[in-house]
Amino acid sequence: MSETLPRSTPHWVWVNDMAFPYMADGKAFLLDGDDGRMLGMLSTGYGFNGVIVPRAGDVIYSPETYLARGGRGTRTDVLAIYDAQLRPIAEVALPPKRASIMPMINASVLTDDERFLLLYNFTPAQSVSVVDMTSRSFVGELDTAGCALVYPTGPRTFFSICGDGSLLEVRIDDTGQMPNLRAQVDRPLQRRQIDLIQAMNRDFAASSGAPDEL
């Protein structure tokens, strides 16, 4: 027995379920926000972060990870593509590096024009996988060493947050490749961070529990 979903409304909500007791069996639930009914569910694999729905709402993108023996074995990462009726219609093979972290919007995002899907990798080396959503093919991997997550800033640009408080600006071309890579440092923010750390160190050194020597 199968049912057909009605035409979607602006109040339909995807609830991404990644719970520690059953990380090997991630799920995404589609709910009607008006009456709370569950409309459908996707099984989304190991260490699931969340689905991505383009503005048109005609497909659902789901970065998924599978292990050959359930909780162990050879790892396979894919971008699964489902139609509006939650039927799988395509898959794009990905490097087995997708960050399996707590659900975050900026772990996997579309560029502003929805041409490319960007996926944050963590092995713990950090990088971004690029998928061309027009051809539904893997383009390549962008090295973002020391910088995490993906914050789109235009059709061909995004920021990643670096450990020193700077922002890494990445520009890609129309093929999804990276012609240049440069860090954009927020100097005032970096100065405030340094001042805060120094103030905390001074407060600790003046406290009664501070050691006589370091």
pLDDT in tens, the chain (214 residues): 678 998 888 899 999 887 777 778 889 999 999 999 999 999 999 988 899 999 999 999 999 999 999 888 999 999 999 999 999 999 999 999 999 888 888 999 999 999 999 999 999 999 999 999 999 999 999 999 999 999 999 999 999 999 888 999 999 999 998 875 454 555 566 566 566 666 776 776 666 655 554 4
| Residue 212 belongs to a domain | no
| Residue 29 belongs to a domain | yes
| Residue 1 belongs to a domain | no
- Tell me the whole-structure pTM to 2 decimals: 0.81
For the record, the structure tokens of 49 come out as 């972060």
CATH of residue 80's domain is 2.130.10.10
Q: Which domain holds residue 184?
A: 12-204
Look-up: residue for tokens 């890579």?
Answer: 181
| Residue 210 belongs to a domain | no
| Residue 132 belongs to a domain | yes
Count of domains for the chain = 1
| Residue 37 belongs to a domain | yes
CA distances to 168, 171, 179 from 159, in Å: 5, 9, 15
149: how many CB neighbours lie within 10 A of its CB?
Answer: 22
| Residue 5 belongs to a domain | no
